[in-house]
Amino acid sequence: MKEFLFKYPAQIFRESEFIFASGWSLALLYSLVALCAVAVVAALVRKRQSLRWWQLGMLGALQIAMLALVLAVVWQPALVHKRLLPGENAVAILLDTSSSMALADGATTRMAQAQQLLTPDALKDLAATYQILPYAFSNGAQRLDDFTALPPPGQSTVLGRSLLDALRQGSGNSLGAVVLISDGADNGGGLSAAELAEISAFGVPVHTVGIGRESIPEDIELSEVQLPSKALAGTTLSARVTIRHDQGGTARLKVYDGDTFLSAEEITLDPAQSSTVALVNIDVPKPGRLDLRFTLDPLNGELTVANNSRARVVDVPDGRYKVLYVEGEPRWEYKFMQRALADDPSIQLSTLLKVTPNKYYRQGIDDPAQLADGFPSKRSELYAYDALIIGSMNVAQFSAEQQAMIRDFVSERGGSLVMLAGLQGLGLGGWGESVVGEVLPSRLSQGDADFIRVKVPVVLTDAGRDAPMLKFSDSDSDNIKQWSELPAVADYQKIGPLRPAATTLLEVNVDGQHLPLLVTQPYGRGQSFILATGGTWRWQMSLPLDDMRHETFWRQFGRNLVANSPRPFEVSAVAQNGNIVVRAEVRDPEAEENQNLSITAVASATSGEVVNLELLPVVGQSGVYQASFTPPTEGLYDIDAISRHGQELVSSVRSAIRYDQGQEAFGIRQNRALLEQISAATAGRYFTPAQWSQLKDAISFSNAGITEQQINYLWDAPMFFLLLFLLKSAEWLLRRRWRVI
């Protein structure tokens, strides 16, 4: 009906520019319309005695609109657009041949649904107008003779690379458009903004055809598992798991270390959401390696169970991390913290206690020269530590260079910084006005930074409940109970407004008002903390001798400080586009001993294959070396890296990664949003398979390739004559009603 009234389909209106084809001046048209309006008003003024003003206004508006419409038709309205010249252009059709397209989706597979669109009969109209360039793609685009013989299913999908391959190859064929037939699954790291911009720069519309269901109620998917790549022995590792689902219910998640069962969690799936996030805690008993596997129990009649499992490898390094604690006055907190951390096998605590203006008392040092001159004056000395704790000390005790070193210790070195409350601590010590102040999670000020010696109870926040370092019990309710039973701390200090990225883990209840006590924020590569009390020692003094909650708090807090601290030489590995990328980082690349290093690595699979690698410096990233290889088999790969000066060994490190080619089993729901994003960015359109017949018209409006200008006249469209009839009829009916005919 719309096409009958307006003469042309909606596609032409969307793609065309409106013009008046007569070539006459628009100023003349506007002048004539204005002249007609004056004449109509003059004629109606003579009837002002028989009609009211609003009646005259209605009749005048109808007459002026009718005359304006007649003049517009005389000026010959038309639509002008460019269309691809038949027989002179090519259309590239890309068919997704990755493994996800072999998934049964309804009565047939996705590939079968796609091939129904690509039979000779289905392509007959397109082939009669354009040269068809057939492509298959998964990890890249591959030119085909036709769509009858397809390559084996690919093990990954990289949409950006595949589109760019086809656009580059087809650029010499007057390419008018690209048709992408896919379920939208992309496990090559996603389509980056740079890739999308490069695709758009070709100026060729990409029309996408989405295959597969967007919702699959009979499937649950373990879409993501996030956890640190390394952990300390004796700590609790917190894994963040994301489950994709299209209906509510309960999912059971099991965790294994190799073949050893660790735990099981019941997770409630929210029916109002498409994904559910849960935290799973894992105990790390000893140094070595955790070969973790997270598995969801399958649903009854589940479509596929291949997306129910994820594997992650976590390094648990041996050895002790170094923490430096600088304190400006002898106090109970200093003594009891030392006791709590003294027997921790993962942490070596070195302390500097200021006893006179020019003298420090040192403990926990390896040799007499260590910290002999007080706080480190060289970056290499400070960077030897993994975490730094500063107690009740005025910022004036540190030189400007040392203050800058503390800031860079967090942002560049990746260490952790803890500031403790005290008479000379935090805002009272002037830290808010120093460069260190920008690192901290609150904006310290001296005006409202009183150190108040009043006993106040500690309250665990919602964020603190989820923090593994604040767990006294695996049971959430029991953990809250144990925190609520702790004795009050001996003092607290106000720390000022928090920064946007800050998270409050503990608070104190001051006469019903909750003030932040333990606050943290990420900064650069590291983390900063404020513990706004110097009185946790009262937990130890007021609890029974066998109650270890004070020791547990400080040991878990201390381990958390150093858990993600970069080592002097580290190696990591990630799976990327079917390859394993091995990356080594040297912590202090400017140091003399780290100049002109050569780094090699050996990747050993559990099946016996060995790959030797030479890691090369990454341009623009100081201290970073990288190499990649295509793994010959699936499984666990141990990565042993060595740094050398010539033939002299400097250091060696180890990491591991589990390589799995089953990425196509994940993200099986049609990613319509990604397909629509590609089409929108390239002036194309998204189609469902049922809309395939509309594709030919959409392709013809391309501005790429060889085009011709086409004019579609509108003056004889039925809608204009219908409007004229309606306007005149409305005027006649009103005149008859008001008896002025």
Give the per-residue pLDDT at 295.
94
Those residues whose C-beta lies under 8 Å from the C-beta of residue 235, and which sit 6 or more positions away, are 284, 346, 468, 469, 556, 559, 560, 563
Checking 522-526 for CB contacts under 8 A at 24+ apart, the result is: 523/410, 523/411, 523/438, 523/439, 524/410, 524/411, 524/412, 524/414, 525/410, 525/411, 525/412, 525/413, 525/414, 525/566, 526/409, 526/410, 526/411, 526/413, 526/414, 526/415, 526/416, 526/417, 526/565
Token representation of residue 596: 């002109």
> What is residue 1's three-state secondary structure?
coil
Give the per-residue pLDDT at 529.
96
Largest CA distance in the chain: 116
E strands along 211-296, which residues? 221-226, 236-244, 249-257, 260-269, 275-283, 288-296
The helix (H) or strand (E) run that includes residue 454 is none
Cα dist. 700→119, 166, 178 in Å? 21, 19, 12
**Which amino acid, 697?**
D
Q: Taking a C-beta distance cutoff of 8 angstroms, is the pair 560, 469 a contact?
A: yes
Structural domains of the chain, ranges and CATH numbers in brackets: 2-83+710-738 (no CATH), 86-212+670-705 (3.40.50.410), 221-306 (2.60.40.10), 321-563 (3.40.50.880), 569-663 (2.60.40.10)
Model confidence pLDDT, tens digit, residues 518-558: 999 999 889 999 999 999 989 988 888 888 899 989 998 99
Partners of 237 in the beta sheet? 282
Sign for the CA dihedral angle at 668, 673, 676, 682 comes to negative
Give the per-residue pLDDT at 568.
80
Looking at 485-595, list the stretches that DSSP marks H as alpha helix, in order from N- to C-terminal side.
537-542, 549-563
CA atoms within 13 A on the CB side of 298: 8
Pairing of strands 513-523, 707-713: unpaired
Q: Taking a C-beta distance cutoff of 8 angstroms, is the pair 272, 258 a contact?
A: no
CA distance 494 to 448: 7
CA distance 586 to 557: 26
187-188-190-193 Cα dihedral, nearest 10 degrees: -170
pTM over 0.85: no
> What is residue 731's three-state secondary structure?
helix
Token representation of residue 424: 């000379």
115-119-124-126 Cα dihedral, nearest 10 degrees: 20
Model confidence pLDDT, tens digit, residues 136-170: 998 889 999 888 888 888 877 888 889 999 999 88
CA-based nearest residue to 666, from 157, 115, 94: 157
Sign for the CA dihedral angle at 616, 618, 619, 623 comes to negative
At residue 321, what are phi and psi to the nearest 5 degrees? -90, 150
Looking at 455-608, list the stretches that DSSP marks H as alpha helix, in order from N- to C-terminal side.
462-466, 476-484, 537-542, 549-563
Q: Taking a C-beta distance cutoff of 8 angstroms, is the pair 203, 659 a contact?
A: no
DSSP 98-161: BGGGGSEETTEEHHHHHHHTTSTTTTHHHHHHSEEEEEEESSSEEE-S-SSS-PPPBS---HHH
Model confidence pLDDT, tens digit, residues 197-212: 999 989 899 999 999 9
User: Which portions of the chain are predicted below pLDDT 70?
Assistant: 1-2, 11, 48, 81, 84, 188-189, 447-448, 589-594, 705-709, 741
CA distance 61 to 40: 9
CA-based nearest residue to 213, from 698, 648, 671: 671
Give the per-residue pLDDT at 154.
83
